A = this chain, B = another copy of it.
Amino acid sequence: MSEATAKQGPDTRARILDAAEALFMTHGFEATSMRMITGQAGVNLAAVNYHFGSKDALIQEVFRRRLTELNRDRLAALEAEEAVAGGAPLKPSKIVAAFFGVSLKMAADTEHGGATFMRLLGRTYTEPNEFVRQFLAEEYAEVVQRFMDALYRALPDVPREEILWRFHFMMGAMSYAIAGTDALKLFAGDFDDEDPARLMPRLMSFLLGGLRAPLPEEVVDQNTQRRDAA
């Protein structure tokens, strides 16, 4: 028991984070107790408070560890496309692929728990926990701004408000796409799992179809009406 077989395997911190991430996904934040986490991680109950300070701080750290990497990759993907384009506006398909491609890539990584995290993340946008939402907003601010700017340039004729909404819709579709077959089985019991590699092209077709759909008539109407009335 000299080197590989240390007393407790890898770092206690990392083991706690992995266990917490998996359990948060399965049971949610509130329903996951410290004793479940430390039990699954094989560490002492007090280890969480020692290493992270509190349960809330642990939740925050679970997100930060992944989200930092995720958003860095997203920005890198966008900048790679922008470098290729060399100043010219990007095609919408490139922008969408950069953002959601990175998401689905992490979601496909079952090896290192990326799939677990992405499903957790997808649920969290709409979840109520106040400080988690606040934290998400801060972590996302820069990335979303960059991608929205790219979309504004790519679609100069589309009202910005409309792009914002459609980006929002796309996030929803992606979230459900990643939540995946479990949710699908909810209303299609005969549905059978399949190659997750086919999810990306499927989702991308849908997203681009939605993004480039003709603007709703009512929006045009209301815009002109607004200029006339009031």
Chain A: residues with CB nearer than 8 A to chain B? 25-28, 30-31, 119, 122-123, 125-129, 133, 136-137, 140-141, 144-145, 148, 161-162, 164-166, 168-177, 179, 183-189, 191, 194-195, 198, 201-219, 222
A–B Cβ pairs within 8 angstroms, 5 of them: A126-B175, A172-B177, A202-B216, A205-B213, A209-B209
So how many copies of this chain end up in the complex?
Answer: 2
Q: Would B141 and A187 count as touching, CB distance under 8 A?
A: yes
Which residues does chain B contribute within 8 Å of A129, judged by CB atoms?
28, 31
Least CB distance, A21 to chain B, in whole angstroms: 14
Q: Contact: A123 with B127, CB < 8 Å?
A: yes
Query: What is the predominant secondary structure among interface residues of chain A facing chain B?
Result: helix
CB of A201 within 8 A of CB of B183, answer no
Q: A206 vs B191: C-alpha distance in the bound complex, in angstroms?
A: 25
Known: A125-B186, A128-B26. A216 touches B210 (CB 8 A): no
Q: Which one of B140, B164, B172, B205 lies within 8 Å of A216 (CB-CB)?
A: B205
A176–B210 CB distance below 8 A:
no
Flag if A27 contacts B176 (CB, 8 Å).
no
- Across the interface, which residues of B come within 8 angstroms of A122, CB to CB? 126
Which residues of chain B have C-beta atoms less than 8 A from A205's C-beta?
A: 210, 213-216
Q: Given A137-B186, A177-B169, A179-B126, does the pair A218, B191 have CB atoms closer than 8 Å? A: no
